[in-house]
Amino acid sequence: MPLSGTNAREESDVANTNSDDENSAEDEAVNGSEEPTPVAQKVQTAVANPEQQSTNTSSLPTEGSIARSTENGPVQRRFNYVPVNTVSFALPDGYSTSRSDIEFLGSGAYGNVIKTLVECRDGEVRAVAVKKFRDPFCDQLQARMIYREIKLLQIMRHDGVIRAIDLYTPNTVEHEFKDVYVVTEYAGDSIVKILHDQKVTGRTHITPEHVPFIIYQLLRVLKYIHSANIIHRDLKPGNLALTSDSDLTVLDFGMARSLERTETSLTQYVMTRWYRSPEVIYWNIDGYNEQVDVWSVGCITAELMLGQPLFPGEDTNAQYEMITSLCGSPDEELMRKIEATSPATRRVVESYPFHKRQNFTQRFSGCPPLFIDFLDKILVLDPEKRLTVEGSLSHPYFADYVDATDEPTAPSSFDLNDNPSRSRDEWKGIIWQEIQNFVGDDASPKIPS
């Protein structure tokens, strides 16, 4: 289903922006207009030869593992340093450094992303997104998050999930290791940018007819990653990319983690506030689970239809007021669950004004009835009563697109082996080995000889 008012040229110009949705979605231009000149000094670093390695990229690293050697020895990669928006990017030989090919896509808390072109092993020239992590080893938590992301981007196999096609560092020895880059195929424009462009230009790209098609694709992805025992935890328009044909790709798994149902202290404040579920922001009923992603789906669905965020709270108090004014305050059943986890939390919740749940038909008058019914079932405070991913996929709102034979699940759970007791330096060593062991496939960049 093509987006309204788009064409092939527009698709080639779109940006996978990773900036927070509260901020402006406008892309920043690459500084200057001159052709960038590669630095005189080209750094060489050894990487494993993909022709000599097994193609199994799903094996997990172990502490003290040694990079695999090859019969012909390691391949040397050379790097050109290119400044983009005050950030210096190390691009391997084979990646275009032409000013006309490079585009700044965005920045977030954990890194900066640019777009460029590269020739791949299958002979195709592809647009790619190059992410440079910001200060990857500043602490143990940061290093662990980066490990999880680069591991997931290698082992997930779904047409709606971004995947790593290159992983590298320009650093030549482990004791000097400080830069981490991950490269993915360029997946199109982010939804946050599309919605921003709609406001600026007045041209509608996402129509009401697009919404169920887009959200159905998102639910397919969630069915897959949840079956692998993974929750995304940061679903938002800025982490969803669309082509001009409305094909969706989920980006940025930096906040994703294994779902351990016995754990009661999963990290709070991980998602962009506007898309956080109430159990993440305000209460932790025996820890939280995959239903946090489902709440985010509801917020995104409403935003696609309305063209603006549903709960744009300026702080957590404002966020709570917006949520409860629409969805109602917790009922006594939910209050008992909250109290069982934390009596103090119940007292805090009771201190807020009480709201009755609004009539969604009246609140969203003029919207399609099936959209309203879906939203009414998914934006529910109690995660146990909230529509699940499976329930969402069977909702009649998606009847025109659903194909149960094309909703793949993971063959098994992904055990990320991300032991939180590991130190920063241990994670640093593990990530170093991940880079040395990276194999890629035919869609990965060709390494010039």
- pTM for the model stands at 0.82
195 by DSSP, 3-state: which?
helix
State residue 132's pLDDT score.
98
**Which of 20, 189, 197, 234 is labelled catalytic?**
234
Task: Work out the number of other CB atoms within 10 angstroms of the CB of residue 85.
Answer: 14
Q: How many residues does the chain have?
A: 449
State residue 7's pLDDT score.
44
Tokens of 39: 């630095």
**How many Å from the N-terminal Cα to the C-terminal Cα in the chain?**
42
pLDDT confidence tier of residue 68, bands split at 50, 70 and 90: very low
State residue 108's pLDDT score.
76
- Dmax (CA) for the chain in angstroms is 71
Which of 55-64, 348-357, 415-424 is predicted most confidently? 348-357
Instruction: List pLDDT tens digits, range 114-134.
Output: 999 999 999 999 999 999 999
Strand 240-242's sheet: what is its strand order?
189-190, 240-242, 248-250
Angle at 134 between CA 190 and CA 158, to 5 degrees: 45
Q: At what angle do helices 424-437 and 140-155 cross, to 10 degrees?
A: 30
In angstroms, rounded to a whole number, what is the distance separating the alpha carbons of residues 425 and 413? 27
Q: Check if the beta carbon of residue 235 is closer than 8 Å to that of residue 304.
A: no
Q: Check if the beta carbon of residue 155 is closer than 8 Å to that of residue 202.
A: no
pLDDT over threshold 90, residue 281: no
β strands within 151-244, DSSP E: 164-168, 181-185, 189-190, 230-231, 240-242
In angstroms, rounded to a whole number, what is the distance separating the alpha carbons of residues 209 and 1? 9
State residue 282's pLDDT score.
85
Q: Chain centroid to CA 108: how far?
A: 12
In angstroms, rounded to a whole number, what is the distance separating the alpha carbons of residues 79 and 95? 9
Query: What share of the chain in percent tops pLDDT 90?
Result: 69
pLDDT confidence tier of residue 8, bands split at 50, 70 and 90: very low
Instruction: List pLDDT tens digits, range 146-159.
Output: 999 999 999 999 99
In angstroms, rounded to a whole number, what is the distance separating the alpha carbons of residues 136 and 100? 29
Instruction: List pLDDT tens digits, range 291-319.
Output: 999 999 999 999 999 999 999 999 989 99
Instruction: Return the CATH fold of 189-402.
Output: Transferase(Phosphotransferase); domain 1 (1.10.510)
Angle at 414 between CA 153 and CA 268, to 5 degrees: 80
Is 356 annotated as belonging to a binding site? Answer: no
Domain ranges of the chain: 17-186+413-433, 189-402
Tokens of 151: 């591991």
The counts of H helices and E strands in the chain are: 13, 13
The DSSP secondary-structure symbol of 340 reads H
Instruction: Return the CATH fold of 17-186+413-433.
Output: Phosphorylase Kinase; domain 1 (3.30.200)
Active site residue 234: yes
pLDDT confidence tier of residue 22, bands split at 50, 70 and 90: very low
Task: Give the list of residues 6+ apart from residue 418 with CB closer than 8 angstroms, or none.
Answer: 144, 147, 148, 151, 257, 258
What is the Cα Rg of the chain in Å?
Answer: 23
Mean pLDDT of the chain: 84
Instruction: List pLDDT tens digits, range 254-276.
Output: 888 887 633 444 444 445 789 99
In angstroms, rounded to a whole number, what is the distance separating the alpha carbons of residues 117 and 258? 33
Instruction: List pLDDT tens digits, range 315-344.
Output: 989 999 999 999 999 999 999 999 998 999
Q: Check if the beta carbon of residue 376 is closer than 8 Å to that of residue 339.
A: no
| Mean pLDDT in residue range 185-206 | 93
- Minimal CA–CA distance to 115: which of 46, 197, 29, 179? 29
Which helix H or strand E contains 89, and what residues bound it? strand 87-92
- Minimal CA–CA distance to 236: which of 202, 277, 185, 176? 277
Tokens of 49: 């030869």
Tokens of 401: 């697109």
Query: What share of the chain in percent tops pLDDT 70?
Result: 81
